[in-house]
Structure 1
Amino acid sequence: MSKGKSNTGDVEWSVDTRVRPLVYGYLRLDLLEGSEVAACHAQLEAFARQHGYEFAAVFHESSPQTWSVPHAFAELVHACRRSGTHVVVTLAGHLSGMAMSRICLLDFLAARGNAHLMELPA
Protein backbone atom coordinates (compact mmCIF):
# COMPACT_ATOMS: atom_id res chain seq x y z
CA MET A 1 0.00 0.00 0.00
CA SER A 2 1.34 3.43 -0.93
CA LYS A 3 0.60 6.74 0.73
CA GLY A 4 -0.03 9.89 -1.21
CA LYS A 5 -1.34 13.40 -0.67
CA SER A 6 -4.49 14.84 -2.09
CA ASN A 7 -6.17 18.19 -1.60
CA THR A 8 -8.32 16.58 1.12
CA GLY A 9 -5.52 14.93 3.10
CA ASP A 10 -3.49 11.71 3.09
CA VAL A 11 -4.85 8.95 0.88
CA GLU A 12 -3.83 5.29 0.78
CA TRP A 13 -4.02 3.34 -2.45
CA SER A 14 -2.52 0.24 -3.90
CA VAL A 15 -0.42 0.56 -7.02
CA ASP A 16 -0.09 -2.40 -9.36
CA THR A 17 2.30 -1.49 -12.12
CA ARG A 18 1.91 -4.79 -13.97
CA VAL A 19 -0.03 -4.54 -17.19
CA ARG A 20 -1.45 -7.80 -18.45
CA PRO A 21 -1.53 -8.22 -22.24
CA LEU A 22 -4.94 -8.31 -23.89
CA VAL A 23 -6.40 -11.39 -25.54
CA TYR A 24 -9.49 -11.58 -27.75
CA GLY A 25 -11.71 -14.58 -28.27
CA TYR A 26 -13.38 -15.84 -31.45
CA LEU A 27 -16.34 -18.23 -31.70
CA ARG A 28 -18.52 -19.41 -34.55
CA LEU A 29 -22.12 -19.48 -33.40
CA ASP A 30 -23.12 -22.07 -36.04
CA LEU A 31 -20.95 -24.62 -34.21
CA LEU A 32 -22.57 -24.01 -30.81
CA GLU A 33 -25.96 -24.60 -29.27
CA GLY A 34 -27.41 -21.53 -27.58
CA SER A 35 -26.75 -22.97 -24.13
CA GLU A 36 -23.08 -23.65 -24.96
CA VAL A 37 -22.11 -20.06 -25.72
CA ALA A 38 -21.79 -18.96 -22.08
CA ALA A 39 -19.74 -22.06 -21.20
CA CYS A 40 -17.40 -21.42 -24.14
CA HIS A 41 -16.96 -17.80 -23.06
CA ALA A 42 -16.08 -19.02 -19.58
CA GLN A 43 -13.56 -21.49 -21.00
CA LEU A 44 -11.83 -18.76 -23.02
CA GLU A 45 -11.81 -16.36 -20.06
CA ALA A 46 -10.42 -19.03 -17.72
CA PHE A 47 -7.60 -19.74 -20.18
CA ALA A 48 -6.78 -16.02 -20.35
CA ARG A 49 -6.71 -15.66 -16.57
CA GLN A 50 -4.56 -18.79 -16.08
CA HIS A 51 -2.01 -17.57 -18.61
CA GLY A 52 -1.72 -13.97 -17.41
CA TYR A 53 -3.88 -12.26 -20.05
CA GLU A 54 -6.59 -9.64 -19.70
CA PHE A 55 -9.63 -10.98 -21.55
CA ALA A 56 -10.98 -8.17 -23.73
CA ALA A 57 -13.92 -9.52 -25.76
CA VAL A 58 -15.24 -12.40 -27.84
CA PHE A 59 -16.04 -11.90 -31.50
CA HIS A 60 -19.01 -14.01 -32.63
CA GLU A 61 -19.24 -15.20 -36.21
CA SER A 62 -22.81 -15.69 -37.33
CA SER A 63 -23.76 -18.09 -40.07
CA PRO A 64 -23.65 -18.31 -42.94
CA GLN A 65 -20.11 -17.13 -43.54
CA THR A 66 -20.49 -15.73 -47.06
CA TRP A 67 -17.63 -13.24 -46.98
CA SER A 68 -14.24 -14.18 -48.34
CA VAL A 69 -12.93 -13.08 -44.95
CA PRO A 70 -15.73 -13.67 -42.44
CA HIS A 71 -17.13 -10.40 -41.11
CA ALA A 72 -16.51 -10.91 -37.38
CA PHE A 73 -13.04 -12.29 -38.11
CA ALA A 74 -12.20 -9.14 -40.09
CA GLU A 75 -13.44 -7.03 -37.15
CA LEU A 76 -11.28 -9.12 -34.81
CA VAL A 77 -8.18 -8.54 -36.94
CA HIS A 78 -8.90 -4.79 -36.98
CA ALA A 79 -9.32 -4.78 -33.18
CA CYS A 80 -5.99 -6.61 -32.74
CA ARG A 81 -4.22 -4.08 -34.92
CA ARG A 82 -5.86 -1.08 -33.22
CA SER A 83 -5.24 -2.29 -29.65
CA GLY A 84 -1.87 -3.96 -30.13
CA THR A 85 -3.28 -7.33 -29.05
CA HIS A 86 -1.08 -10.18 -30.23
CA VAL A 87 -3.09 -13.22 -29.12
CA VAL A 88 -6.48 -14.58 -30.13
CA VAL A 89 -7.94 -17.65 -28.46
CA THR A 90 -10.63 -19.91 -29.85
CA LEU A 91 -11.86 -23.48 -29.64
CA ALA A 92 -10.60 -26.19 -31.98
CA GLY A 93 -12.49 -26.23 -35.27
CA HIS A 94 -13.78 -22.67 -35.13
CA LEU A 95 -11.46 -21.57 -37.95
CA SER A 96 -12.18 -24.56 -40.16
CA GLY A 97 -14.88 -25.25 -42.73
CA MET A 98 -15.44 -21.68 -43.90
CA ALA A 99 -15.32 -20.17 -47.38
CA MET A 100 -11.73 -19.05 -46.79
CA SER A 101 -9.26 -21.73 -45.73
CA ARG A 102 -7.92 -21.86 -42.19
CA ILE A 103 -4.32 -21.21 -43.28
CA CYS A 104 -5.39 -18.08 -45.19
CA LEU A 105 -7.27 -16.80 -42.12
CA LEU A 106 -4.20 -17.43 -39.94
CA ASP A 107 -1.99 -15.61 -42.46
CA PHE A 108 -4.47 -12.70 -42.56
CA LEU A 109 -4.47 -12.50 -38.75
CA ALA A 110 -0.67 -12.50 -38.64
CA ALA A 111 -0.11 -10.06 -41.50
CA ARG A 112 -2.91 -7.57 -40.84
CA GLY A 113 -3.45 -7.97 -37.11
CA ASN A 114 0.11 -8.81 -36.01
CA ALA A 115 -1.42 -11.57 -33.87
CA HIS A 116 -1.45 -15.34 -33.62
CA LEU A 117 -4.13 -17.86 -32.71
CA MET A 118 -4.21 -20.29 -29.82
CA GLU A 119 -6.76 -23.11 -30.10
CA LEU A 120 -8.17 -24.80 -27.03
CA PRO A 121 -9.68 -28.27 -27.13
CA ALA A 122 -13.42 -28.08 -27.80
Structure 2
Amino acid sequence: MNLRPGEVWLADLGLAAKYRPVVIVSRHDPDPPRALAIYVPITSQDRGSAYEVRLPKSRFLQAGSVANVQGLGSLPTARLDRRIGVLRGETMAEIRRAILWALELDPPASTP
Protein backbone atom coordinates (compact mmCIF):
# COMPACT_ATOMS: atom_id res chain seq x y z
CA MET A 1 0.00 0.00 0.00
CA ASN A 2 1.45 3.34 -1.06
CA LEU A 3 0.12 5.87 1.46
CA ARG A 4 0.68 9.63 1.34
CA PRO A 5 0.39 12.26 4.06
CA GLY A 6 -2.97 14.00 4.04
CA GLU A 7 -4.96 11.04 2.74
CA VAL A 8 -8.15 10.41 4.70
CA TRP A 9 -9.08 6.75 5.11
CA LEU A 10 -11.80 4.81 6.85
CA ALA A 11 -10.00 2.57 9.34
CA ASP A 12 -10.85 -0.20 11.74
CA LEU A 13 -9.68 1.27 15.06
CA GLY A 14 -11.33 -1.51 17.05
CA LEU A 15 -14.00 0.84 18.41
CA ALA A 16 -17.56 -0.48 18.48
CA ALA A 17 -17.03 -2.44 15.25
CA LYS A 18 -17.15 0.78 13.22
CA TYR A 19 -14.84 2.26 10.67
CA ARG A 20 -13.61 5.72 11.63
CA PRO A 21 -12.00 8.41 9.47
CA VAL A 22 -8.29 9.01 10.01
CA VAL A 23 -5.77 11.28 8.32
CA ILE A 24 -2.43 9.73 7.40
CA VAL A 25 0.48 11.73 8.82
CA SER A 26 3.36 9.30 8.23
CA ARG A 27 5.82 10.31 5.55
CA HIS A 28 5.47 8.89 2.06
CA ASP A 29 7.76 5.85 1.87
CA PRO A 30 7.49 3.68 -1.24
CA ASP A 31 9.38 0.86 0.51
CA PRO A 32 8.54 0.94 4.24
CA PRO A 33 10.16 -1.68 6.52
CA ARG A 34 6.78 -2.45 8.14
CA ALA A 35 3.19 -2.32 6.89
CA LEU A 36 2.18 0.38 9.39
CA ALA A 37 0.60 3.81 8.99
CA ILE A 38 0.84 6.69 11.46
CA TYR A 39 -2.50 8.47 11.69
CA VAL A 40 -4.51 11.11 13.51
CA PRO A 41 -8.17 10.24 14.16
CA ILE A 42 -10.94 12.51 12.90
CA THR A 43 -13.95 13.13 15.11
CA SER A 44 -17.04 15.32 15.24
CA GLN A 45 -16.57 15.78 19.01
CA ASP A 46 -15.01 19.28 18.99
CA ARG A 47 -13.88 20.17 22.51
CA GLY A 48 -12.13 23.38 21.47
CA SER A 49 -8.77 21.97 22.56
CA ALA A 50 -5.30 22.92 21.32
CA TYR A 51 -4.98 19.21 20.47
CA GLU A 52 -7.64 19.60 17.79
CA VAL A 53 -7.43 21.05 14.31
CA ARG A 54 -10.70 22.11 12.72
CA LEU A 55 -11.12 20.62 9.28
CA PRO A 56 -12.85 22.24 6.32
CA LYS A 57 -16.23 20.82 5.37
CA SER A 58 -15.90 18.61 2.35
CA ARG A 59 -17.80 15.94 0.47
CA PHE A 60 -16.08 13.28 2.63
CA LEU A 61 -16.25 14.99 6.07
CA GLN A 62 -19.20 16.41 7.91
CA ALA A 63 -19.22 20.00 9.15
CA GLY A 64 -17.55 20.44 12.53
CA SER A 65 -14.99 17.66 12.10
CA VAL A 66 -11.62 17.95 13.84
CA ALA A 67 -8.32 16.07 13.68
CA ASN A 68 -7.51 15.04 17.27
CA VAL A 69 -3.69 14.92 17.47
CA GLN A 70 -3.91 13.65 21.05
CA GLY A 71 -5.08 10.38 19.48
CA LEU A 72 -1.94 10.04 17.31
CA GLY A 73 -1.29 6.36 16.68
CA SER A 74 -0.19 3.70 14.26
CA LEU A 75 -2.01 0.74 12.81
CA PRO A 76 -1.36 -2.03 10.31
CA THR A 77 -2.23 -0.91 6.80
CA ALA A 78 -4.48 -4.00 6.51
CA ARG A 79 -6.89 -2.18 8.86
CA LEU A 80 -7.35 0.67 6.38
CA ASP A 81 -10.56 0.04 4.45
CA ARG A 82 -10.73 2.70 1.75
CA ARG A 83 -9.47 6.17 0.94
CA ILE A 84 -12.24 8.74 1.09
CA GLY A 85 -10.38 11.98 0.39
CA VAL A 86 -7.29 14.14 0.82
CA LEU A 87 -6.46 17.09 3.08
CA ARG A 88 -3.94 19.50 1.62
CA GLY A 89 -1.98 22.68 2.13
CA GLU A 90 -2.65 24.76 5.19
CA THR A 91 -4.82 22.09 6.83
CA MET A 92 -1.93 19.60 6.84
CA ALA A 93 0.46 22.34 8.01
CA GLU A 94 -1.88 23.01 10.96
CA ILE A 95 -2.00 19.29 11.82
CA ARG A 96 1.81 19.09 11.70
CA ARG A 97 2.12 22.16 13.97
CA ALA A 98 -0.37 20.66 16.42
CA ILE A 99 1.60 17.39 16.53
CA LEU A 100 4.84 19.31 17.18
CA TRP A 101 3.11 21.25 19.97
CA ALA A 102 1.52 18.14 21.51
CA LEU A 103 4.85 16.29 21.60
CA GLU A 104 6.87 19.38 22.65
CA LEU A 105 9.08 19.09 19.58
CA ASP A 106 10.84 22.05 18.02
CA PRO A 107 9.72 22.85 14.50
CA PRO A 108 12.34 22.14 11.84
CA ALA A 109 14.75 24.99 11.16
CA SER A 110 13.95 26.84 7.97
CA THR A 111 16.42 26.48 5.16
CA PRO A 112 17.88 29.54 3.45
User: Rg bigger for which structure?
Assistant: 1
Q: Which has the higher helix share?
A: 1
What TM-score, normalized to structure 1? 0.27
